[in-house]
Amino acid sequence: MRALIVYQLKHYIRSYRYFPPLLLYIVSIVFIYGIVPNPVMESYSLTSAVLFLFSAWLGFSYIDSEHEIQQMIASSHAATSLNIIWLK
């Protein structure tokens, strides 16, 4: 199970699909907190909304990063087919 997790994380990191949401999240946080009179509640609510959107984008890019045939090959090498289902 641990080898399967390491394999999927390495595959996702090598695909660089995490970079656009991460970069836009960092830019938006810098933009939100770059305002000089920083209102606390407005910046907190905007930060939580932005975090939710970019987390959803990251999650979708992780689920969609592996092709179906590659998923079949990984599930055939896994101990059980339930390991693949639990990881996705």
Domain segments of the chain: what residues? Answer: 2-87
Q: Give CA separation, 15 vs 3, 4, 18, 46, 54, in Å.
A: 18, 17, 8, 29, 17
For residue range 46-84, what is the model confidence (pLDDT) as tens digits?
A: 999 999 999 999 999 888 888 888 777 777 777 665 665
Global pTM value? 0.71
